[in-house]
Amino acid sequence: MNIRFDERTALVTGAAHGFGRAIAIALAARGARVIACDILEAELTETVTLAGDACEPLVLDVTDRDGVQAAVAGIEAAHGTVDILVNCAGGVLGQIGRPIEEIGEADWNAIFAVNLSGAFYLTQAVAPGMKRQKFGRVVNISSGAGLGISLTGIQAYASAKAGQIGLTRQLAHELGPFGITVNNVAPGFVRSNPTTERQWEAMDEDGQKKLVDNIALKRLGSPDDIAHAVMFFASEQAGWITGQVLSVDGGK
């Protein structure tokens, strides 16, 4: 299967490291013009250096709806319609698992804002252009936490990722008549960023072994494993697939 994205414009959020960086690099390598977005400017610059001339940085807070609308308008003015949107921004924002009675309103809302509202705002902004051209690919990056429970123990994270999966299915039906597919990749545990490194290091040797032993393939995945799934959903070959959630977790 030869997947190419020549003459396509792709917008990838959360592109400063981890999954988002791998996705941006993979899209650029396959011919797409990539707009790599994040709030971490220095790390975003590293992504662009790795991805090459086909990739350009955009510092963007996905929780700022007005900022998202303005950013997409600027991209469309410079490059035309966004053909591929990958909503990868998210995470736990430095939070750790705590009992429910200790969770404040701000902590709850912050995780929902970046993991769920951000995906909604970006899709809302690119949808009109995709509708006009009768084509679009939206790929949301959720988590195994959205399908089961979260290793982090963070209630808001599990809930927001489950909500993102629900949003994926709903938008697939709303946008499908316009030739727009909306799909979801749910990664398993991957050592892909500072947060997952801290989680891994916080386990003792037995805990690390148990985690790997519970994976059918008996190994942890890599950001490239997640990027490969996104390449398929974004491709022409996935044109009759929408509203789906693909677990990329080595087998559970």
Which domains occur in the chain, in start order?
9-248 (3.40.50.720)
pLDDT of residue 196: 84
201 CB-near residues (< 8 Å, 6+ apart): none
Determine contact, residues 168/243, Cβ cutoff 8 Å. yes
pLDDT of residue 128: 98
Q: What is the pLDDT along the chain (252 residues), one digit of tens a residue?
A: 799 999 999 999 999 999 999 999 999 999 999 999 999 999 999 999 999 999 999 999 999 999 999 999 999 999 999 999 999 999 999 999 999 999 999 999 999 999 999 999 999 999 999 999 999 999 999 999 999 989 889 999 999 999 999 999 999 999 999 999 999 999 999 988 888 888 888 888 999 999 999 999 999 999 999 999 999 999 999 999 999 999 999 998
Determine contact, residues 36/241, Cβ cutoff 8 Å. no
pLDDT of residue 228: 98
Determine contact, residues 36/109, Cβ cutoff 8 Å. no
pLDDT of residue 192: 86
pLDDT of residue 30: 98
**Given the residues 120, 121, 157, 189, the one annotated as active site:** 157
CA distances from 241 to 137, 191, 203 (A): 10, 29, 38
pLDDT of residue 23: 98
pLDDT of residue 180: 98
Evaluate the CA torsion angle 69, 95, 166, 57 in order and state its sign. Answer: positive
* Residue 157: active-site member: yes
pLDDT of residue 193: 83
pLDDT of residue 27: 98
